[in-house]
Amino acid sequence: MLPRALRAFFTGGPRSGKDETEEIRAAITGLARAIRVGDAAAADGLISPRTRRASGGSRRFAAAVAAEHPVLVTGGTLTFAGVSEAGRQRLQSTVMPDAAGGLHLIDWQMVRDGDRWVVHAIQVRAAAEGSA
C-alpha cells in the first residue's frame, strides 16, 4: 500500500465520499462570501498556496480581488453553470448579475490542495448586454 502522501500525489488528492462538484461549489461560495465581507483569513483558506503568494502574501487576496472585480462585492447571487476538466484542474463557470442588471461570466480555476479543492484563479468577463 502506498503512503498517504504518495497516494494523494498520484490520484490528485485523497478522495472523500463527497461529490466533487459539491466540494468545488462550496469552496467557490465560501470564497465569494469571504471577498464580499472582506474576510481575508477565510479567503486565504480557500485559495491555492501559489495564488496566495502571487497576490502578495497572506491576507491580501480578498482585497486585491475586490478592488479588481467589484462585482464580486456588489453583485447578486452566483448561478453555477458547468464544470470542465483539464487534467487535475477543474474550471467552474458561473454567472453573477451586477447592481445595474448586467450579467458577468466568472470562471473559477480549481486545483487540489491535499484532500480539498481550492481556487487557483478567477477570470471575470465583461458584463453582457441585457438584464438579469
DSSP string, 95-113: EEE-TTS-EEEEEEEEEEE
β 89-97/79-86 pair status: antiparallel
For residue 99, what pLDDT is reported? Answer: 87
| Res 9 pLDDT > 50 | no
Whichever domain contains 59, its CATH number is: 3.10.450.50
Cβ-contact 125, 98 below 8 angstroms: no
- Structural domains of the chain, count: 1
In a domain, residue 7? The reply is: no
For residues 31 and 43, give the distance between their C-alpha atoms in angstroms, rounded to a whole number.
5
List pLDDT tens digits, range 31-64: 999 999 999 999 999 999 999 999 988 889 999 9
Phi, psi of 30 (to 5 degrees): -65, -40
**Looking at the predicted structure, is the pLDDT value of residue 16 above 50?**
no
Contact 91, 108 (CB under 8 A): yes
- Whether 9 is covered by a domain: the verdict is no
Residue 36 covered by a domain? yes
* DSSP code string of 39-85: -HHHHHTTB-HHHHHHTTSTT-HHHHHHHH-THHHH----EEEEEEE
Residue 128: predicted pLDDT: 66
Whether 94 is covered by a domain: the verdict is yes
How does pLDDT run across 71-115, given as a tens digit for each residue?
Answer: 999 999 999 999 999 999 999 999 999 988 899 999 999 999 999
Predicted structure pTM score: 0.81
Question: What is the span of the domain harbouring residue 31?
Answer: 18-124
